[in-house]
Amino acid sequence: MSTSTDAMPRPARSGWLTPRRAKAILKRVVLYLLLAIVAFFFAGPLYILLSTSFKTMPEIQAGGLMFLPHEPTAQAWVTAWGEACIGITCGGLKGYFGNSMMMAVPAVLISVMIGAINGYALAKWPFPGARFVFAALVAGNFVPFQVVLAPVSVTLRTLGLFGSVEGLILIHVIYGIPITTMLFRNFFLSVPNDLIKAARIDGAGFFWIFFRIVLPLSPSVIVVALILQFTGIWNDFLFAVSFSNPSSAPMTVALNNLVNSNFGVKEYNVHMAATVIAAAPTLILYILLGRYFLRGMTAGAVKG
Amino acid sequence: MTCRRRLAAGTLPIREAKAPIKRRFLQRHVSQVALSPSLALIAIFLYGFIAYTAAVSTTNSKAFPRFDTFVGLEQYWRLFHTPRWHVAFTNMFLFGGLFLLVTISLGLLIAILIDQRIRAESFFRSIVMYPMAMSFVVTGIIWQWLLNPTLGIEVMMHQLGFESFRLDWLTNPDTVIWALVVAAFWQGCGLVMALFLAGLRGIDEDIWKAAAVDGIPAWRVYVFIVIPMLAPVFLTVVVLLSLSIVRAFDLVVALTNGGPGVSSDLPSVFMFDMAFRRTNLGLSAASAVVMLGTVLAILIPYLYVETRERA
C-alpha cells in the first residue's frame, strides 16, 4: 500500500542514526510537511472567516488577516443575524434563514419519501419496462437545469407559486426525484428478495412490506438521502435566485445580495459572520455525520 | 369474470362488483401505480420542458415565450456570432481543462500522501473534505476576500515582508480564470481525493510486497503500476467534474460575477442573464440547449464505454 517498509523503525546496529534510518526519518518529515501545507490551504479560509467575524472594522482595516482578534466581539454576529441591510430591508439574515429552513425541511422529507417508494417499486416489484422507467427517471440527474428554467418560471407563474417558498419546495421535490430514486433503488437491490417473497406469500401488500420490512432494514441509506438532499437544497442558488422574490429568498441568495451589493461600506466582519451562518447547517451535518456525508456526496456528485 | 357476468346480468350491486376488480388491478400493478406520479412529473417537468426550451430556441421570443415568431435556427447562428458567448463558451473549456488538471493531479497526490499510514489520518481527511459541505456561493465569497488585493493574501504577504508580491487574479481579465480554478479546486478536491483514496485502498497489498522484494522504489510502483490500475476511478472523476463544469453557475456569480467585464463569463451565467435580465428568451434557450448538448457529448461516450465493459 505504501512505503511503510522504509518508515518502520529498524533495530539500530551501530549508533541510532544509521544512513538508512536517517533517510526514513527525512521522508517522514517531508511527508508531514506536505500534509501541513495541504491542511493549511483547506483549513486556512475557515479560520480566517471565523477569526475575522469576531474582529472590529478598525482592526480589519489595520490588516493582519491571520491573527486572532485582539478584543473578540460578537457584535458582527448580532448585526448579521438581526440588523444587516439586504436590499431595502434591514432585518438581518434571520428571516432568510427561516425561509431556507421552511423550504428545505419539507422539500427534503417529501423528496426522500418519494425516492424511497420509487426505489422500492423499481428494485423489488419489477414489471416489464421497469429498467426503462428507471433510466428515464435517472437521466434527470445529468441534465443541466438551465434548460428547464424558463418553462418552470412560466409554470410557477401560472400556478401562482412564483416567488413563494411553496413554489421552491415544489421545484426541489420534483427535481429531487431522479437522485433520491437512484440512491434508494441501488440500495434496495441488496435487500434479499426472499424476504419480500415470504411476506407476499403471507399476504402482505406493497406498503406493508415497505414500511414494516424494507424501511427498517435501511436506516443508513435514509440518513444518506436526507443529508444529500438537505445539503443540495440548502446550498442551491440557481432555483433560489430564479424563482424567489425578496420576501421568500433563501440564505444563498440573501448572502450573495448582502456581500456583493455595491452600496455602502463593506463591513467585512458582518459579511464573514453572515457567511458562517449560511454555511453552518450543512457544516454541522458534515461534522456530526461525516461518514454518511461522503457516501451521499459520491452518490450525488452526478446531480445537477 | 363471474363478477362481471353477474354485473352484466344486473344481479350484482355495482359497488360490490367494482371493488374487487379495482383492488385486483391495484394489487397487480401496485408498483406502476406508485411510480406513475413521479413518472408523470418527470415527463412534464424534465422531458416536456426540455422540448419546450428547444421549441423556444427556434423563436424570436423576448420577455415571454411566443411561438408565432418562428425563426428556425437563427438564434443558434446569432449565439455563435455573439462575442460574449464566445468568451463564455471558450471559458468553459479553459476553466474546465485547468480545473480538471489541477484537481485530478493534486487530488491524487493528496490521496497518496494520506495513504502513507500517517498519524491522525481521519483529521487530515476531514480537513480536505469539509469544503464539500459548503455552497458554491459561500466558497465564491470566501475566495473573493482571500484574492482581494486590499484585504486578503496580498496584504498578508506584504506584512510578512514580501513587498513586491502581487495577486491580482480578480482584477486582471487574463488571469481571472485562475481565481475560479483555485476556488473550485478548494471546494471539489475533497470528493476527488476521497474517490482516489478508495481506489488506492482497493489495490492488492501483494503488489506492494512484491515491489518491496524486488527493491522497486515507491514512486515507480505508483507511476507504472498503481496509477494505471486506477483508470476506472480517473474516468469517473473526469465525468463527474466535467458535468459540474458545464453547470458551474453559483461560483462565478459569487466570486467574479462574470467580471472584470465579461472575462470570466460561463455559459450558465450567459444563459441566466439573457433569460432574466436582458429579456432575450430565444437566445437564452439556444444557449441552454447548447449546454445540454455539451453534457450529452460528455455522457454518451462514457455510458457507451461503461455498458460495453459490463457486457
Domain span holding position B34: 2-56
Q: What is the pLDDT of residues A132-160, one digit of tens each?
A: 999 999 988 889 999 999 999 999 999 99
Looking at the structure, do residues B87 and B52 belong to the same domain, yes or no? no
Distance of residue B14 Cα from the nearest chain A Cα, in angstroms: 25
Residue B244 covered by a domain: yes
CA distance B132 to B190: 7
Considering CB atoms only, which of B39, B190, B271 is closest to A137? B39
Beta carbons within 8 Å of A112's beta carbon, 6+ residues apart: A176, A180, A222, A225, A226, A229
Residue B130 covered by a domain: yes
> A63 and B145 in contact by Cβ < 8 A?
no
Q: Is B250 on the interface with A (CB under 8 A)?
A: yes
Beta carbons within 8 Å of A9's beta carbon, 6+ residues apart: A21
CATH number at residue B228: 1.10.3720.10
Q: What is the pLDDT of residues B220-254, one digit of tens each?
A: 999 999 999 999 899 989 999 998 999 899 999 99
Distance of residue B295 Cα from the nearest chain A Cα, in angstroms: 7
Which of chain B's residues have a Cβ under 8 Å away from the Cβ of A231?
133
Q: Please count the structural domains in chain B.
A: 2
Distance of residue B146 Cα from the nearest chain A Cα, in angstroms: 8
Looking at the structure, do residues B209 and B159 belong to the same domain, yes or no? yes
Percent of chain A with pLDDT over 90: 65
| Closest Cα in chain B to A290 | B126
Beta carbons within 8 Å of B295's beta carbon, 6+ residues apart: A142, A143, A144, B243, B246
Looking at the structure, do residues B31 and B126 belong to the same domain, yes or no? no
Which of chain A's residues have a Cβ under 8 Å away from the Cβ of B195?
298
Residue B73 covered by a domain: no
CA distance A14 to A34: 31
Average pLDDT, stretch A222-243? 94
CA distance A183 to B12: 47
CA distance B240 to B104: 11
Residue B72 covered by a domain: no
- Residue ending a domain, among B56, B75, B94, is B56
Looking at the structure, do residues B150 and B25 belong to the same domain, yes or no? no
> B141 and A252 in contact by Cβ < 8 A?
no
Residue B9 — pLDDT band, cuts 50, 70, 90?
very low
Find out whether B298 and B243 touch, Cβ atoms under 8 Å: yes
Looking at the structure, do residues B184 and B261 belong to the same domain, yes or no? yes
CA distance A146 to B273: 11
Q: What is the CA radius of gyration of chain A?
A: 26
**Is 3.40.50.2300 the CATH classification of the domain at A94-300?**
no
Find out whether B250 and B136 touch, Cβ atoms under 8 Å: yes
Which of chain A's residues have a Cβ under 8 Å away from the Cβ of B156?
63, 65-66
pLDDT at B143 over 90: yes
- Please report the pLDDT score of residue B306 as a whole number: 77
Average pLDDT, stretch B195-216? 90
Looking at the structure, do residues B16 and B109 belong to the same domain, yes or no? no
Q: What is the mean pLDDT of chain B?
A: 88
Measured CA angle at A290 (ends A287, A294), to 5 deg: 140
- Please report the pLDDT score of residue B66 as a whole number: 85
> A260 and B254 in contact by Cβ < 8 A?
yes
Backbone phi, then psi, for A265, in 5-degree steps? Answer: -75, 140
ipTM comes to 0.88
pLDDT at B6 over 60: no
Q: What is the mean pLDDT of chain A?
A: 89
Residues spanned by CATH 1.10.3720.10 within chain A? Answer: 94-300
Q: What is the pLDDT of residues A87-98, one digit of tens each?
A: 878 888 999 999
3-state secondary structure of B59: strand
Write down the residue that cell numbers 544512513 correspond to.
A19
Q: Is B50 on the interface with A (CB under 8 A)?
A: yes
Distance of residue A271 Cα from the nearest chain B Cα, in angstroms: 9
Bond into B131 cis (ω within 30): no
3-state secondary structure of B235: helix
